[in-house]
Chains A and B, each alone.
Chain A
Amino acid sequence: EAQVTQNPRYLITVTGKKLTVTCSQNMNHEYMSWYRQDPGLGLRQIYYSMNVEVTDKGDVPEGYKVSRKEKRNFPLILESPSPNQTSLYFCASSLNSGTTYEQYFGPGTRLTVT
């Protein structure tokens, strides 16, 4: 089954404790992206990747890191999480249809930083 998987689905952690949220897709997509979703603010793009070893900042990259060492994986790293990073996080992978990108989203990771 074609899908984007994220782990963990739920995470409660404390300020300053490094964490990684994994994202994997089995559709051989070149493009992958991370978003956070907050009430009243909608989905905001954190980082995206156009291919292996090619990443770029989205609208809210501060406090996050990403890497793309393999095509299928795009982990999101929070080196020193803070309470304002409490949010619902989504990974997406995309097929480039020429001029557009059809985004397929994972099920989300709900992160709480205390």
Chain B
Amino acid sequence: TQLLEQSPQFLSIQEGENLTVYCNSSSVFSSLQWYRQEPGEGPVLLVTVVTGGEVKKLKRLTFQFGDARKDSSLHITAAQPGDTGLYLCAGARGGTYKYIFGTGTRLKVLA
């Protein structure tokens, strides 16, 4: 069974700090996505990375796909309370519509 492990599971930081969330697997994915989920809502897509080594930036968020397409990271610079939420990574298998999700990183940014 393919697994996507996220670390850390929980993270509580002060406003203005930087943080990195990791998403690791022993399997290769054709693409990897990051989502953010707020309480009582469905996940919202932040980014999709496709190419090994690819880096994408979304304002203060930087996403990287590992060279071997087995892992990814999300880096947030100068975190703000609005960044609070559950961050999920999801890998697509072989270009299909079969997705496997990580267990999530619950981030709390304190003002």
Interface residues of A, Cβ cutoff 8 Å to B: 4, 31, 33, 35, 40-45, 48, 50, 56, 58-59, 90, 92, 94, 97, 99-108
Contact = CB atoms under 8 A, between A and B. Distances in A.
Contacts of A44: 101
Contacts of B95: 99
Contacts of B41: 107-108
A91 to B, nearest CB: 8
Chain B contact residues: helix, strand, loop or mixed: loop
B33 A42 contact: no
Interface of B: 1, 30-31, 33, 40-45, 48, 50, 88, 90, 92, 95, 97-104
Contacts of A4: 42
Chain A contact residues: helix, strand, loop or mixed: strand
Given A99-B30, A100-B48, A102-B48, A107 B42 contact: yes
B40 A108 contact: yes
Contacts of B102: 42
A105 B40 contact: no
A99 B31 contact: yes
